[in-house]
Structure 1
Amino acid sequence: MTSGVSEKSSSLLRIRCNKRQGIALVAVLFMLFLSLFTFARPSSGGCGGRTIRTFNEAVAFSRATTTSHNHEGPIFKNLNDLEATANAKDNQEHVLILTPLKNAASYLPRYFELLDRMSYPKHLISVAFLVSDTTDNTVELLQEQAHVFLNRWKDRYHEITIYQKDFSFELPEDKRHTFELQPLRRSYMARSRNYLLTAALREEHSWVLWLDVDLVDYPATVLEDLQSVDVDVVVPNCLRETEDNSFWGYDKNNWQETDSSLEMQKDLDPEYVLLEGYYEFLTNRYLMVDMPTHHPKLEKVPLDGVGATFTLVKAHVHREGANFPAFVFQHQVETEGFAKMAKAMGFGVYGLPSYLIYHTMNG
């Protein structure tokens, strides 16, 4: 009888032990699968900034991270299939949004609000910033917001990168639009844009959007709208935000040459930089902010100069060499110099006078 009780107790003990081991094993397996399903990388590379949601993706990521530095042969990238089309959203074409910054902390909340309101699929959007000579907490705020955008379950961005490059160029805020200082200021802005472009452009990008940090309003469908125009370079019409909703032009760097402006340039020193919106030297050009705005909003007009408040470029334009000259090119530097260079290379540059976006009332 005693022997039977002992055997029974021993059996119960084994069952309890097995049950504990089984529960522990289930817990370990559950934590393993949970970690695979919720893994998210806050930086670039690897899976391209996407959340891993399946076991197969986790296995693929593991293989990629263990073999990425042990290639047995060359890496082959076929750029022949990379296109920028009018149906970019349907064709899953990647967009790179570029924004140079300096002391921009006060503008960032609205910038990110508008950016996140865009209807273009977030997993097809990469964003890159170049912060230069800043004295505020711009970098810290960028890092905080990037963490949010890269670690949420839905509408997660493909990649967000923050670069810092100082040029030791200081200009008092009340002097940043002084006529005499514009060629030098714009030259440094061109260098900043070129640093950002060359650092951030990847082989998957079909489009490049140059976006100002201090815009206050634009349509959520703006990317799809501008892509549908299907030209090499296109800009909407940027106005100033006013309390009474009156019409005030902001981006005067979007313009057409005229017979008068071309005639005047024949006698200019080749190194002279032309600037728009200054009474010190009138260029006689036709500014897009002075064009009629009652036509269909996607009706385009050819331009010879562009700004960069919101400038959409097919990535192949930049890849083939059109950048932002920090030197004088056909009497222009920076963004207007880019437009002149793109046209000289045979690319089409256009504006949409009736497609309105709004800039903060500064400058």
Structure 2
Amino acid sequence: MIRWLGAALLAVVIGIGLFVLAVSGRLPEIAGVNVWLLAAAPLLLWLLAFAVRSYTYGGALSHFQFLEEQAQEAEVAWSHWAKRHFAVQASCVVLPEQVSAAVIAQGAAGEPRRPGEACRIADLPAKGNERVQVALQKLFAGVGPALMALPADRDLRVTVLHDVEAEELENFQASWRKAWLKAMPSRSQVAASFISELSLQWLEDGLKTPGAAIDLILVLQVNGASSYSDGLAALLLCPDALAQEWALPIQGRLLRPMHLNVEQLKTEFPLFLQTQLTARNATGILADSAQWQPCLGSILSMGEAQQAKFQAGQQWVQESLCGVPGPFSAWLLAALGLEMSRHFQQPLVLLSQEPSQRWISTVATGELA
């Protein structure tokens, strides 16, 4: 702006100079030119240039304001998307060493597991069909009341995550059917999907394109032998939009998970806290594998910088509590995290990993945090 004022002053000076020269007759070449028009020409040129510059600046400013508004709308939309969640009507988890939220809260989880140690659920028979039957009974006991309370007109979709060998799958399916009919005779028409892997990407896909059914995910990780530990879990859940529409009772919330590149932890973890604001209210962190251990210190310091409420001494690694995580560790972690969130009545940040991907997410109680 100062430069434009200087240019205007210079135009005035030049105009005065031309006026003096024209009046004095020292420039006969301009004798026939209107002296006032000649004197005003520099200032008129300045006004024309200033008008053009103002027009282009105004256009650029309008474009900038438009982009800024678009960025703000995108940020609001992203924050809203980050708050999306699966509403959990019921959940239960059974882990080795009787690890539970209450045991962890009391600090009575026993000695840390040795690296590479695979632990068994003591209450399960050693092998055979009876092992599956007992496992299913435990899961149905945990979520049975919530299943019975579901309105009869609501569709129920059952997914069974299992580590059963192919040659044993038929017997396993028969055992499941028998246990299901005993636990839920009113839902005898339900047919389960039996799969051996399910990524947390399923949650994000389910929020993007929600169906019209309530999902029951049963996790049976019972054949790890010396490779990985046992684990049982059941999750009865549906997308938040359906839960609100149907006014379903909610025990907890499983918020949208986010891919996490550990090599870019310094940028991705602050982004997670800035978008999934519920995570800032989390007081604890629960990880599935000891491979997360080197990251916990950095996560705590970055959380403090982002005004998160993480508390010292409230970081747990599931592997150190109940042995080597298996193929379904992300779902077992989610179930344990939901139980701990209900116990502490606080959100909890979860760190889980799959063979090709790591995830960070938040679990919380049914009330908005």
Q: Please give the range of the TM-score, normalised by the shorter of the 2 chains.
A: under 0.3
Calculate the TM-score normalised by the size of structure 1. 0.25
Structure (1 or 2) with the larger CA radius of gyration: 2
- Structure ranking higher in helix proportion: 2
Identify which of structures 1 and 2 has the higher relative contact order when contacts are C-alpha pairs closer than 8 Å and 6+ apart. 2
What is the TM-score with the length of structure 2 in the denominator? 0.24
